[in-house]
Structures are given as structure tokens and as C-alpha cells.
């Protein structure tokens, strides 16, 4: 862990972030970070507990003179997206994140940084450990598994939280106040695939598509970034019917736009030259089309020697057709909120391995009926090629309340501090506020945070000056919490 991080200001925030990033904390494997947070709360002598699912609660009384203020909930999630570049040697299960300072940014070497949502956790830890920051009574809530299912928020029981205002520190632009978000649902399509030995007069090749920018499948979906699964499908279609498919492995996590895909194919020996020429043409096309959004896109092809088992061409063609037909990216813009993506889909994972086909998607929308309609359309598409389809992880969106007292207060503070208007908006990402609000319908909710770029990709970075700014804004908010009946 770089010592550069620990000397940054505000020191308490960055030191807690460094401590947190030393703990492996992938979604679904949060046991170590849960214990880390329990030990942290106990070390401060604060009431600390863990609920049945693994959410951690740490409570702190109001400071002197703040006892009459409305009690609040501070919330962030403990898990992080684990993504790395293919050429990065790193074990997320055993290693802490290797961070460094690059100008005004903190980055990680070849992996995600974990600022999403480690910065929010660090802000709350810094407040809980402080002795001189004025604040009302606090329920600190650290949820689990936000990135792959919102499990912690979905399993949260009523009666656990006593605050009437919830500050979620999970927004990635320091001039934004988020008051609404999209809901989401996972679509899982699977089927068994009959394999056969490739003909003897065929040669095997591994096609690798890499170097795409990737990004957050909600917050970055409007940027027109290349999706490696869709682009690899385009490649497989273009190389022709006679090329047989043996293996396909693209994308990873549902909430990350796929950056890389790999296919193994068998090519008739008499068509190898045509095959290579077609790949060269496609590479030039992709480099031209995605030169702005994905400037490092790369298409590589190498021979493979081992005997190949391939799928029947009829199924290969059906699979290509289904992925071509699968919606990807923006499906509909909001007619009510300018610039807001209303509904989208991310074709997140395509895997053909050992006779099993798996396609995973994440559909998002701020309109529940439209979300479910798009999910049904995707399901029908893959059912048409014999897949079994299951929809899981359904979570609601968060309806904006532009008249809340906390929004009025924080907007006024932002204007006073920075002499400009904050951007009040709803986002296309899945925040936990919509779920948390179902058990606490009278609670006012708002989300904010420092500038984070490239979340869910190895390009993730957090701006140092923005942390200083948003920490100042956070402290001002704590001191001016409005009274909510």
C-alpha cells in the first residue's frame, strides 16, 4: 500500500480508505470486511451489531449541543467490484488494492480502485472516529453485496434504523445531489450445448478482443462505449458460416460494460487466409468507429494446437442471431427528465464452455413496468433458441422528492460554499436508497460524494481535490441538519 495515500488531506478519510483497501472485499465474499467493520466499531467503544444477512450497524450519540437535531442515517456499501486487466497479476481474494497518486487523482495499478463505495465508507469511519466534528445522533449503516444483487439493502428489516434523514455517500460527481435512481433486474439465460469434434482439415484460432474502455453499466451507459460481447458477436458473424465455434468467454460482472472477449474457433484450412483478412478489415472498422470512446481497442488472433470440440453450426448461427437481437445500451430516454436514461440493458456476460451456454444481462429502468417489459423481451429472445431463462435480483427504483427538507438544506449550503447551483438529479445507476426507503417510507433520502471516474473498471480513479471539497460539504451538512417531523 503506497504511503503516498496516507499523507493526503483530509488525512482521516484517506487513512481509513487505505485501511479498508487492505481488506479483500468482493461482493458475496464480505466476511473479512464485515469483521473489519465490527472490530472498528468495537475499538471506538460504540454500539456495533451485525444483522442476519451481514449488514453492519454502528451507532454514535449526538455531540454536545446537537442532541435536539434530527437523528440521521449515514449509509455506504462494503463490497467493491473486482475487475483487473488481463495482463495484471493480482489475486483479489488475498491482496489489498495497490494504490498510487497520479497528479490530482488516486488510482490502482491494473485493478479497480474500490473508491466505489470505499470512499463513502471512509467518510463515515472518519466521522465515527472523530472527537471534534459536530453532528446529530448517527446510525451508520454499512450494507453488503450492493454490486451484485443489493442483497444487504433488500434484506434490511424495519425497526433497525432510527434516523429520519438518510445520507447515502455513493454519488460520483461532487456537484450533484441525487434524489432518484433506476431499479434493476438480472436476466440469466442458460442451455446445454451438444459438442462434436472439429473436422481434421480445420485449424484452431483464438480471437481476443481487448482494450475497450469499459465502465459502469448504469452511469456510463449513455457514452456509447463498445460492448465486447456485442462486438465479438459481430466478428463471429462476419468470419462466415464455415468457421466453427469452440469456446466463447466475454465480459464479467453484470454492472460493468464488458471490456474484453475471447473466442476459440476452428477454420477450414482452405479459408484461413480469407479468415485473417476479414479480421483485419473488422479491426480497422472497429478502430474507426470506436476511436473516440475506446481508443485502445485491439483485435488479436493466434493459432491454437489442441484438438477442438465445436458446437453444431445451426446453434452457432442461432446464438449469433440472438445476441444480435438482444437490446444493449440505451433502450429509452426519459420523456420527463432531460438527459436521463430511463431504460437500458447491458449484455454483460457470454460464456460457452464445456457444453454449457450462459448469457447474463442487467436491465435497468426508473419505470418499473418498462423494466419488466424489456426483461420479458430479452427472456423471449433467448427462449427462442432453447435457453432456460430466470429473472433474479429484482430491486425497485427510487422516486425523486424534490421538496424534501434535506435537499433544500444541502442545496443552500452548496450555493453558499461554492457560489454556484448544485446539479439536482436522478441517476441511471442502482442506488440502495430506493430499497431502503421501502421499509422507511417517511425517511428523507439523498445521495452525494466525490468525483470518481471509471468505476467498475481498472481505470477507476478518485479525485483528491474533490474529496477535500465533498468532505467540507459533508461536515457543513452535518452541522446544519434540518428538523424533520
Quote the pLDDT of residue 434.
87
Beta-sheet pairing, 329-333 with 452-453: unpaired
Mean pLDDT for the chain overall: 95
d(CA 350, CA 385): 15
- Count the neighbouring beta carbons within 10 Å of the beta carbon of residue 388: 12
d(CA 85, CA 93): 16
Q: List domains and CATH numbers for the chain.
A: 3-182+397-479 (3.40.630.10), 185-395 (3.30.70.360)
Spot the catalytic one: 116, 145, 146, 173: 146
Q: Are the CB atoms for 458 and 114 separated by under 8 Å?
A: no
- Chain centroid offset of residue 267 CA: 37
Q: Identify the band that residue 308 occupies on the pLDDT scale cut at 50, 70 and 90.
A: confident
Q: Identify the band that residue 253 occupies on the pLDDT scale cut at 50, 70 and 90.
A: confident
Mean pLDDT of 218-237: 97
Residue 102, strand partner residues = 105
Per-residue model confidence as pLDDT tens digits over 87-110 = 899 999 999 999 999 999 999 999
**Residue 319 to residues 155, 193, 209, 312, 471: CA-CA distances in angstroms?**
36, 11, 19, 11, 49
Quote the pLDDT of residue 437.
87
- Count the neighbouring beta carbons within 10 Å of the beta carbon of residue 441: 7
pLDDT at residue 1 greater than cutoff 70: no
**Residue 398 to residues 27, 56, 430, 446: CA-CA distances in angstroms?**
22, 23, 9, 10
Mean pLDDT of 326-344: 93
End-to-end CA distance of the chain: 46
Per-residue model confidence as pLDDT tens digits over 418-455 = 999 999 998 998 889 989 988 898 999 999 999 999 99
**Residue 249 to residues 148, 228, 246, 342: CA-CA distances in angstroms?**
19, 10, 11, 29
Print the SS3 string covering 345-401.
Answer: EEEEEEEEECCEEEEEEEEEECCHHHHHHHHHHHHHHHHCCCCEEEEEEEECCECCC
Secondary element (H or E) of residue 320:
helix 313-325
Per-residue model confidence as pLDDT tens digits over 165-200 = 999 999 999 999 999 999 999 999 999 999 999 999
Q: Is the peptide bond before 61 cis (omega within 30 degrees of 0)?
A: no
Question: Could you tell me if residue 240 is left (phi over 0), alpha (psi between -120 and 50 degrees) or otherwise beta?
Answer: left
Q: Which three cell numbers stand for residue 111?
A: 485493478
Quote the pLDDT of residue 397.
87
Reduced to 3 states (helix: H, G, I; strand: E, B; else coil), residue 452 is strand
Residues 6+ apart with CB under 8 A from 26: 79, 80, 82, 92, 93
Decide if 79 is catalytic: yes
Q: Identify the band that residue 298 occupies on the pLDDT scale cut at 50, 70 and 90.
A: very high
Per-residue model confidence as pLDDT tens digits over 104-152 = 999 999 999 999 999 999 999 999 999 999 999 999 999 999 998 889 9
Secondary element (H or E) of residue 183:
strand 183-192
Regarding pTM above 0.95, the answer is no
**What is the DSSP track for 421-444?**
--EEEEESS--THHHHHHH-TT-E
Sheet holding 461-463, edge to edge: 99-102, 105-108, 461-463, 452-453
Decide if 39 is catalytic: no
Quote the pLDDT of residue 485.
67
Q: Are the CB atoms for 81 and 27 separated by under 8 Å?
A: yes
Reduced to 3 states (helix: H, G, I; strand: E, B; else coil), residue 13 is helix
Q: Are the CB atoms for 261 and 351 separated by under 8 Å?
A: no
Residues 6+ apart with CB under 8 A from 314: none
Spot the catalytic one: 30, 79, 145, 294: 79
Q: Is the dihedral of CA 461, 412, 446, 225 positive or negative?
A: negative
Reduced to 3 states (helix: H, G, I; strand: E, B; else coil), residue 267 is strand
- Chain centroid offset of residue 316 CA: 30
pLDDT at residue 396 greater than cutoff 60: yes
Among 366, 477, 365, which Cα is nearest to 422's?
Answer: 477
Amino acid at each position: 500500500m503506497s504511503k503516498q495515500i496516507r499523507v493526503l488531506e483530509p488525512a482521516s478519510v484517506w487513512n481509513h480508505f487505505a485501511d479498508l483497501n487492505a481488506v479483500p472485499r468482493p461482493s458475496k465474499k464480505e466476511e473479512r470486511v464485515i469483521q473489519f467493520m465490527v472490530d472498528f466499531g468495537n475499538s471506538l467503544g460504540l454500539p456495533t451489531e451485525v444483522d442476519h444477512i451481514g449488514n453492519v450497524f454502528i451507532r454514535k450519540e449526538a455531540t454536545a449541543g446537537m442532541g435536539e437535531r434530527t437523528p440521521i442515517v449515514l449509509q455506504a456499501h462494503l463490497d467493491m467490484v473486482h475487475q483487473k486487466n488481463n495482463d495484471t497479476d493480482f489475486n483479489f481474494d488475498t491482496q489489498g488494492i495497490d494504490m498510487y497518486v497520479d497528479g490530482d487523482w488516486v488510482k490502482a495499478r491494473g485493478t479497480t480502485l474500490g473508491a466505489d463505495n470505499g470512499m463513502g465508507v471512509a467518510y463515515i469511519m472518519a466521522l465515527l472516529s472523530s472527537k471534534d466534528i459536530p453532528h446529530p445522533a448517527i446510525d451508520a449503516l454499512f450494507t453488503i453485496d450492493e454490486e451484485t444483487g443489493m442483497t444487504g439493502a433488500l434484506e434490511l428489516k424495519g425497526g433497525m434504523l432510527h434516523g429520519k434523514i438518510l445520507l447515502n455517500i455513493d454519488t460520483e460527481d461532487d456537484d450533484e445531489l441525487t434524489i432518484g435512481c433506476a431499479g434493476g433486474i438480472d436476466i440469466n439465460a442458460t442451455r446445454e450445448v451438444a459438442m462434436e469434434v472439429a473436422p481434421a482439415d480445420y485449424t484452431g484460432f483464438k480471437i481476443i478482443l481487448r482494450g475497450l474502455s469499459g465502465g459502469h453499466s448504469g452511469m456510463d451507459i449513455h457514452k456509447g462505449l463498445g460492448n465486447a460481447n456485442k462486438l465479438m458477436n459481430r466478428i463471429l458473424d462476419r468470419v462466415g458460416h464455415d468457421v466453427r465455434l469452440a469456446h466463447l468467454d466475454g465480459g464479467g460482472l453484470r454492472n460493468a460494460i464488458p471490456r474484453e472477449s475471447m473466442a476459440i474457433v476452428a477454420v477450414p484450412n482452405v479459408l484461413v487466409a480469407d479468415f485473417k483478412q476479414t479480421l483485419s478489415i473488422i479491426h480497422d472498422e472497429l478502430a474507426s468507429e470506436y476511436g473516440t470512446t475506446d481508443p485502445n481497442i485491439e483485435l488479436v488472433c493466434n493459432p491454437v494446437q489442441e484438438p477442438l470440440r465445436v458446437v453444431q453450426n445451426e446453434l452457432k448461427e442461432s446464438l449469433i442471431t440472438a445476441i444480435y437481437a438482444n437490446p444493449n445500451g440505451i433502450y429509452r430516454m426519459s420523456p420527463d427528465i432531460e438527459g436521463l436514461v430511463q431504460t437500458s440493458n447491458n449484455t454483460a456476460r457470454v460464456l460457452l464452455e464445456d457444453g454449457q451456454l450462459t448469457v447474463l444481462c442487467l436491465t435497468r429502468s426508473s419505470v418499473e413496468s418498462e423494466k419488466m417489459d424489456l426483461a420479458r423481451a430479452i427472456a423471449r429472445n433467448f427462449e427462442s433458441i432453447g435457453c432456460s431463462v430466470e429473472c433474479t435480483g429484482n430491486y425497485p427504483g427510487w422516486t425523486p422528492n424534490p421538496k424534501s427538507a434535506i435537499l433544500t438544506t444541502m442545496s443552500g449550503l452548496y450555493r453558499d460554499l461554492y457560489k454556484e447551483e448544485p446539479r439536482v438529479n436522478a441517476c441511471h445507476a442502482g442506488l440502495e436508497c430506493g430499497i431502503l426507503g421501502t421499509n422507511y417510507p417517511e425517511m428523507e433520502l439523498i445521495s452525494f460524494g466525490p468525483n470518481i471516474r471509471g468505476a467498475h473498471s481498472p481505470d477507476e480513479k478518485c479525485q483528491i481535490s474533490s474529496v477535500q471539497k465533498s468532505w467540507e460539504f459533508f461536515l457543513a451538512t452535518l452541522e446544519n441538519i434540518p428538523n424533520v417531523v
